Amino acid sequence: MPKKKLVLVVNQHPITAMTLGRLAESELQAKVIMAYHVVNMLDAVRDNPVDVMITDISMGTIEAIKQVISQRPAINILVVADEEELYAIRSLRAGAKGFIAIGSPVEELASAMQKVDAGGIHLSEKITQRALACRRPFADPVEQLSDMELKVYRKIGQGRPTRLIASELGISVKTVESHRANIKTKLGLKGCLELVRSAVTYRRVSR
């Protein structure tokens, strides 16, 4: 009897992780293990012969994907997260094989799992068009932002004050202020009001 593949499901929400895990068991005929944090994800990859990883986008995940690829170059990674093209592009650049919105129909999720498991690439049409556009360096100025700067920028667009952003991202207030300054410089924004307006506009158009 052939050995079952090992799938690692990474999601900070246990119910979502369980749902994705059951779908992976069914569609890939695989054994599934779970992780609920980036640190646990890295430990699981180090300690287990993981064939496929299905992960969300949480704090530090994109950088962690690069570490996973360096540890296990043959691993196939599918990112299941909110529909936002820029994160999809960054995930692919980090080494993921696919990106799909968490709210996608079950049939599309299953198809994405099967395609990535086979070593293929899965992207929605919307994300594919964005990927083609992004072949030009920094086609969108926001692409110049680092992963953490992008997280701070999104939080600003959600109306979060600096102290709350620091708490939610697990960084210091001083670090948030530094990221805000870098964002303004990279996007050519003159002050806090322009920064907030830009972040709110970005949040609306990227939904």
| Tens of pLDDT, residues 68-122 | 999 999 999 999 987 566 677 788 888 899 998 888 889 999 999 999 999 998 9
Q: What Cα–Cα distance (Å) separates residue 76 from each residue in 134, 174, 197?
A: 23, 37, 39
Single residue among 78, 99, 133 that ends a domain in this structure: 133
H or E element, residue 130: helix 125-133
Single residue among 71, 101, 133 that ends a domain in this structure: 133
* CATH number of the domain to which 148 belongs: 1.10.10.10
Pair (145, 121) in one structural domain: no
- Within a domain: 1: no
Q: Could you report the per-residue pLDDT of 131-173, keeping only the tens digit for each?
A: 665 554 445 678 788 888 988 998 999 999 999 999 988 899 9
What pLDDT is stored for residue 138 in this prediction? 47
Pair (199, 113) in one structural domain: no
- DSSP secondary-structure letter at 90? H
Pair (125, 149) in one structural domain: no
Pair (124, 179) in one structural domain: no
Pair (122, 39) in one structural domain: yes
Q: How many folded domains does the chain comprise?
A: 2
Pair (153, 58) in one structural domain: no
* CATH number of the domain to which 114 belongs: 3.40.50.2300
Query: Is this model's pTM higher than 0.75 or not?
Result: no
Q: How far is CA 116 from the centre of its chain?
A: 16
Single residue among 133, 159, 174 that ends a domain in this structure: 133
**Range(s) of the domain holding residue 95:** 6-133
Pairing status of strand 31-35 against strand 76-81: unpaired
CA quadruple 124, 151, 133, 69: dihedral sign: negative
3-state secondary structure 38-56: HHHHHHHHHHCCCCEEEEC
